[in-house]
Each structure stands twice: as structure tokens, then as C-alpha cells.
Amino acid sequence: MSTPEIIIIGGGVSGLSCASELATAGRRVQVWTAAPPHQTTSAVAAAFWYPYRVDPIERVGPWAAASYERFATIAGNLALGPTAGVYMREALEVFVERVPDPPWSRYVDMFRHAVPEELPAGYEHGLVFESPVIDMPRYLPWLVAGLERLGVEIVPQARPLDSLAPALERAQVVVNTTGLGARELVGDSRLYAVRGQTLRRERGELSRVIIDEHGPHGISYVIPRGDDVVLGGVADERDEDLELRPEQSAAIFERCARLEPGLVDNKPLGASVGLRPCRDEVRLEQEERDGQLIVHDYGHGGAGVTLSWGCAEEVRDRVQSWLQARRGG
Ligand SMILES: Cc1cc2nc3c(=O)[nH]c(=O)nc-3n(C[C@H](O)[C@H](O)[C@H](O)COP(=O)(O)OP(=O)(O)OC[C@H]3O[C@@H](n4cnc5c(N)ncnc54)[C@H](O)[C@@H]3O)c2cc1C
């Protein structure tokens, strides 16, 4: 490929979405990544559209709304949705007491309060809405195939970069989408891990997402994807142990089966652990160094998929404005 104008560091959902936006805008883009897409945190994401453990609210809202639109468009295209692994599913969020409607309720379709017959035992209140569900083992390869068609090269790195310097030597613009890796890459001590663990079972007939974010034992969710259903969850602050914990698997299953009793008939398929890249606020900002542009886009916590397209659109707009201002095009 010809010399890239833009190098994106990171091959998770953030990096691939940014690459897609910039290449679609006609830019020459390369993605440099230590881990291939299927071995990133993004590959472990459950993943449904839901702004979880992410701030600041005033920026998260528009990013989440833009992503919702994009996922709904992909899912609505019958030729595309199943190939991409994106589905619109009815979601039910349950509460033990009445709560005000969340700020994101205005971004989602079909939002309403649940009627009592819809609620599992022990719950008093529920929100029903349509939520994109993203089957990451299908979605990430679909994004990669789209990038190949756009001429984007994904360049594996033998080990994580120690600094941005090698990328800045090759391209005028560098986009940093390294998730938790930004702690070392750019010395960001505001990033920390929140460990998650999920189970997978056969999907059977299940098609409704159920979430209990505020239960006494942490978040619980049941997410029917394409062929499987993902059960969670765990949110262990500043815990970076990637080993599976069997006692957590048992507790997740017990909580989820209370939300969705039909699960007990579905065959277990496996379990995963991942580290959410949390930060007091998402870092989406730019800096100029010696006439070059660096855009940072990381720290999306438990909502990197939920925010992926909205953040990628902002990255694209920032890069485009900067390049156009410098060389009129
Ligand atoms: C159990 C679990 C469930 C989740 N569920 C959901 C959900 O339902 N919905 C949702 O929206 N989000 C969910 N998340 C959160 C989501 O997974 C993350 O927010 C998202 O994956 C972050 O994506 P990213 O591309 O920014 O980072 P990552 O996926 O971590 O990708 C970072 C990339 O940068 C590369 N990299 C890092 N450092 C360097 C370096 N120095 N040099 C070169 N390359 C480098 C890595 O190799 C990798 O390719 C979940 C997370 C977990 C753990």
C-alpha cells in the first residue's frame, strides 16, 4: 500500500470503527495492533447497547445515540444484519423499586414501562426498549472484511509499541485506540481495569435481553446473540486476573436463571474473562506535536461497543478538519 496518511494504533472495536470512518472518507489508513481483533477485550464484550460504567454523561449520550442509529441501520438491512452479527432485540431492564427514566431513554426505540406480568419475581419496576445486540465473534471479522475492501491494511505488531514515535515517523496523523494499553503507551494513570466474566450457553428460543444493573450482587444480564446467549456479569474493580473463577460462574448462572428460567434447558458452551478499560472519563481529544496530529480515543469502560460509531465519527471529523485546515483538502 502507499504511505498511510493516518495510522491507527489498536485493533479493537474502537480502532476498527475509526479506520472504517476515515477510510470511507477517502483517507489512506493503516491499523497497527499488538493483539489481532479476535484476541482483544472487544472480542469478549457481551455485547449489547447500553451505556454502562462510562462518563461523562454529556458526551456519552450523543456518542451512544449515534452508535444506536448505526447499529439499527445495519440490523435493519436484511442482507447485512445476520452476516454482521447485529440484531435489534427487545430488552427489559428490571428494578426492585420505581426509578426515574434514564437519560438514554430518549435515544432508544419502543421505550415504555413494563407491565407487572412482564417482571420476574421480586421486581417492582421495568423498562422495555429495543436494543442493538452485537455478536462480537461475527461482528469483528465483518468489520475487518469491510476494511479490506476499503484498502485498509492491518499490520500486526510483534509486541506492544513503547511509544507513539514509530507511528509518527510513518504518518502525519496517529489515532490512539489502545484501550487499557494506553496506560503504558502514553503513561495514562487515570485508566484502570474492571474485570468481567461471562458464560455462554446455546440460545434455544430465547430472544429477549434482560438486565438487572443494580442487584445486590452486581450487574446481571442475559443477552441472546445469534446462536448463543451470553450471561453476566462481574465488575471487579482494579482486578486484572484473567483466570476464570468457577464460583463466579456458578453465581452468574444462578442469578441469570432467576431472571430467565428458560436458560436451564440450554447447553453450556463456555466462559470468558476480560478487563474493561475504565477511566473517570473517556479520553477523546487531540494534541498537536511538531506539526503532527494525535487523536486519543480510549477509556470506554463497559460501553466501548455502545459508543464505537459515535466516537469514530468524532475522530473522523477532528482528523478531517485538521487535514483540511493544513492543506486545503
Ligand atoms: C465481560 C465484558 C463485557 C462487556 N460487555 C459490553 C457490552 O455489552 N457493551 C459494550 O458496549 N461494551 C462492553 N464491554 C466493554 C468493551 O469490551 C470495551 O469498552 C471495548 O472493547 C474497548 O474497545 P477498545 O477497542 O477501545 O479496546 P480493546 O478492545 O482493548 O482494543 C485495544 C487494542 O489496542 C491494542 N494495543 C494496546 N496497546 C498497544 C500498544 N502499546 N501497541 C500496539 N497495540 C496496542 C490491543 O492489542 C488491542 O488490539 C464489555 C467488556 C467486558 C470485559
CA distance 277 to 304: 9
Average pLDDT over residues 18-41: 98
List, in order, residues 6 or more apart from 19 with CB less than 8 Å away: 8, 29, 31, 147, 152
pLDDT attached to residue 77: 86
Question: Which grid coordinates belong to 234?
Answer: 462481574
Three-class secondary structure of residue 303 per DSSP: helix
List, in order, residues 6 or more apart from 186 with CB less than 8 Å away: 164, 176, 296
pLDDT attached to residue 78: 78
Q: 14, 70, 162, 178: which to mutate for ligand 1, most atoms within 8 A of CB?
A: 178
Exposure string (b/e) for 95-112, b if CB count within 10 Å is 16 or more? beeeeeebebeebbeebe
pLDDT attached to residue 329: 53
Average pLDDT over residues 108-118: 97
CA distance 325 to 329: 7
Confidence of residue 79 (pLDDT cuts 50, 70, 90): confident
CA nearest ligand 1 atom 22, residue? 304
Average pLDDT over residues 189-199: 98
Termini Cα distance of the chain: 21
What's the domain range around 47? 6-327
1, part of any domain = no
Q: Is residue 91 predicted with pLDDT exceeding 80? A: yes
Q: Is residue 1 predicted with pLDDT exceeding 70? A: no
Confidence of residue 179 (pLDDT cuts 50, 70, 90): very high
The domain tally of the chain equals 1
Q: 237, 276, 295, 297: which to mutate for ligand 1, most atoms within 8 A of CB?
A: 276
Q: Is residue 33 predicted with pLDDT exceeding 90? A: yes
Which is the closest atom of ligand 1 to the Cα of 185? 41
Q: 152, 162, 142, 156: which is closest to 33 by C-alpha? A: 156
133, part of any domain = yes
Average pLDDT over residues 225-249: 97
CATH number of the domain to which 229 belongs? 3.30.9.10
173, part of any domain = yes
Q: pLDDT tens across 294-303, in order?
A: 999 999 999 9
21, part of any domain = yes
Instruction: Kindly state if the Cβ of 235 falls inside 6 Å of ligand 1.
Output: no
Q: Is residue 216 predicted with pLDDT exceeding 80? A: no
Of the given ranges (159-163, 257-261, 324-328), which has the lowest mean pLDDT? 324-328
Q: 40, 213, 234, 308: which to mutate for ligand 1, most atoms within 8 A of CB?
A: 40
Confidence of residue 200 (pLDDT cuts 50, 70, 90): very high
- Strand 6-9 and strand 29-33: the pairing is parallel
Q: What is the average pLDDT score of the chain?
A: 96
278, part of any domain = yes
Residue pair 255/220 in contact (Cβ under 8 Å)? The answer is: yes
Confidence of residue 311 (pLDDT cuts 50, 70, 90): very high
For cell 470468558, the residue is 272
68, part of any domain = yes
288 CA from centroid of ligand 1 (Å): 25
253, part of any domain = yes
Average pLDDT over residues 22-49: 98
249, part of any domain = yes
Instruction: Kindly state if the Cβ of 48 falls inside 6 Å of ligand 1.
Output: yes
Q: How far is CA 171 from CA 5, 34, 175, 198, in A?
A: 5, 18, 10, 39
